[in-house]
């Protein structure tokens, strides 16, 4: 981008920010009723921290809980997750419950700075004030860690508060969760958890060029993780309309069911968050997810049968016979839930092949949970197969046993060979 274009963009952002200062609705504030913090309040907050999977972003691998340090990669640069332990200088020890509520509900820090939406306040804005207070009470009890947060590494103009103000004007409005009176208490509880505290749309929705999600749960690539979060509304992907509620509950609570097994980032969500929720909340989420309006998903195009494709499929078939057939069977039916079926597997026939590519390269590991304490895992093959071989194998999987999807090129495999696994 030329210098003139950069300055023109900065001028536009400045005008939008000025407009935002005038047009932005007055900050919503819901006063907290002062009350003594009890053991029950703290326990409630700990439960809510699990439900929101706060540890996933605010804890670096091998680091102290909630002390920050994890870097989230975005198309605009990297965002550093902050320290939210009660250290007064480097964490939230000097914060009040009102400060914490303002961050969740309005996306503003204690000092008034606008927060980046990598912190999903676009979802957390629906969290109730009592739940925010309980969550804050819990965080005040975790061990304080003196660890300054690393700075964000964002390109201009995304590193400016003016750009954030303009973004918020276009894509964010503080809200509160409003129960649907036509729905059951259970359904509304599921909606609150899925759309608010659970922030499922942060991964399972597509994002536009400005990084704003559409909140439809229609699926999207997770840039920070290089995984595709499938649509929860399209039966061509991970739509749940045809699932029985107990199967959805099993998948969310244990990571495995007779219908599917979770891998990749979703395995971490189940391990760190969902398995710790009580059965009533998991069932409420399942009930809500099952009622999401169905969408058609991406229309599949017939795969052109060529001599070159036939050669690739034959190579993939031979590789499957060498490396995969013992677990998944000659018919691709596997043995659920330990060895997931490949026949008719929607994860293989989605338009994006990133997930099967990464599983072949890095292995597939279901989460260890109370309901699945000794999960079966698939070993990685990145050290065994080259890019062309992985492409051939994945192409075979995507075009066998009733599956039909576009072939995979070696360059696609190479793109993800070095992608971070954390």
Distance of alpha carbon 91 from alpha carbon 367, whole angstroms = 30
Tell me if 58 sits within 8 A of 70, measured CB to CB. yes
State residue 23's pLDDT score: 45
- pTM listed for this prediction: 0.89
* pLDDT tens per residue across all 422 residues of the chain: 565 555 555 555 555 555 544 444 445 556 666 567 899 999 999 999 999 999 999 999 899 999 998 988 899 999 999 999 999 999 999 999 999 999 999 999 999 999 999 999 999 999 999 999 999 999 999 999 999 988 899 999 999 999 999 999 999 999 999 999 999 999 999 999 999 999 999 999 999 999 998 888 999 998 878 899 999 999 889 888 889 999 999 999 999 998 889 999 999 999 999 999 999 999 999 999 999 999 887 777 788 889 999 999 999 999 999 999 999 999 999 988 888 899 999 999 999 999 999 999 999 999 999 999 999 999 999 999 999 999 999 999 999 999 999 999 999 999 999 876 66
State residue 69's pLDDT score: 87
Distance of alpha carbon 403 from alpha carbon 68, whole angstroms = 42
State residue 32's pLDDT score: 63
Query: Which residue carries 């503003």 as its tokens?
Result: 108
Structure tokens at 222: 């997770």
DSSP 354-395: HHHHHHHHH-EEPPPBTTBSS--EE---TTTS-HHHHHHHHH
Give Cβ neighbours of residue 340 (< 8 Å, ≥ 6 apart): 260, 261, 328, 334
Q: Find the distance separating the first CA and the last CA of the chain, reported in whole Å.
A: 32
Tell me if 184 sits within 8 A of 139, measured CB to CB. no
DSSP 179-231: --TTS-HHHHHHHHIIIIIT-GGGTSS-B-TTS-B--S---EEETTTTEEE--
Tell me if 290 sits within 8 A of 395, measured CB to CB. no
Structure tokens at 101: 């509520």
Tell me if 97 sits within 8 A of 155, measured CB to CB. no
State residue 419's pLDDT score: 73
State residue 14's pLDDT score: 54
Cis peptide before 337 (omega within 30 of 0): yes
Nearest CA-CA partner of 225 in 320, 118, 348, 83 = 118
């Amino acid at each position: 981008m030329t210098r003139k274009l950069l300055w023109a963009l900065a001028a536009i952002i400045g005008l939008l920010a000025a407009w935002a200062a005038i047009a932005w609705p007055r900050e919503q504030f819901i006063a907290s009723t002062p009350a003594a913090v009890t053991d029950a309040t703290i326990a409630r907050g700990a439960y809510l921290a699990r439900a929101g999977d706060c540890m996933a972003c605010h804890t670096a691998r091998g680091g102290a809980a909630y002390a920050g340090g994890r870097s989230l990669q975005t198309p605009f640069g990297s965002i550093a997750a902050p320290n939210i332990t009660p250290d007064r200088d480097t964490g939230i020890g000097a914060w009040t419950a009102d400060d914490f509520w303002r961050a969740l509900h309005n996306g503003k820090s204690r000092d008034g700075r606008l927060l980046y939406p990598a912190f999903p306040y676009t979802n957390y804005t629906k969290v109730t004030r009592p739940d925010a207070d309980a969550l804050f009470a819990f965080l005040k009890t975790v061990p304080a860690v003196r660890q300054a947060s690393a700075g964000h590494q964002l390109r201009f103009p995304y590193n400016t508060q003016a750009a954030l103000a303009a973004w918020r004007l276009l894509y964010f409005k503080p809200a509160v969760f409003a129960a649907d009176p036509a729905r059951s208490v259970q359904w509304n509880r599921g909606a609150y958890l899925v759309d608010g505290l659970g922030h499922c749309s942060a991964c399972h929705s597509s994002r536009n060029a400005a990084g704003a999600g559409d909140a439809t749960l229609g699926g999207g690539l997770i840039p920070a993780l290089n995984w595709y979060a499938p649509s929860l509304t399209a039966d061509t992907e991970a739509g749940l309309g045809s699932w029985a509620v107990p199967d959805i509950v099993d998948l969310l609570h244990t990571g495995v069911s007779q219908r599917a097994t979770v891998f990749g980032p979703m395995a971490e969500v189940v391990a760190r968050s969902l398995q710790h929720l009580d059965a009533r909340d998991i069932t409420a989420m399942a009930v809500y997810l099952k009622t999401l309006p169905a969408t058609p998903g991406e229309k599949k195009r017939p795969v052109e049968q060529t001599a070159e494709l036939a050669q690739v499929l034959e190579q993939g078939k031979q590789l499957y016979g060498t490396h995969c057939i013992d677990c998944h069977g000659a018919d691709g039916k596997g043995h659920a839930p330990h060895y997931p079926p490949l026949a008719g597997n929607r994860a293989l026939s989605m338009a994006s092949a990133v997930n099967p590519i990464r599983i072949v390269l890095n292995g597939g590991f279901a989460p260890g949970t109370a309901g699945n304490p000794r999960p079966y895992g698939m070993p990685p093959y990145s050290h065994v197969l080259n890019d062309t071989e992985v492409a051939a194998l994945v192409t075979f999987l995507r075009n066998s046993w009733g599956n039909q999807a576009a072939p995979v090129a070696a360059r696609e495999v190479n793109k993800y060979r070095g992608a971070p696994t954390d």
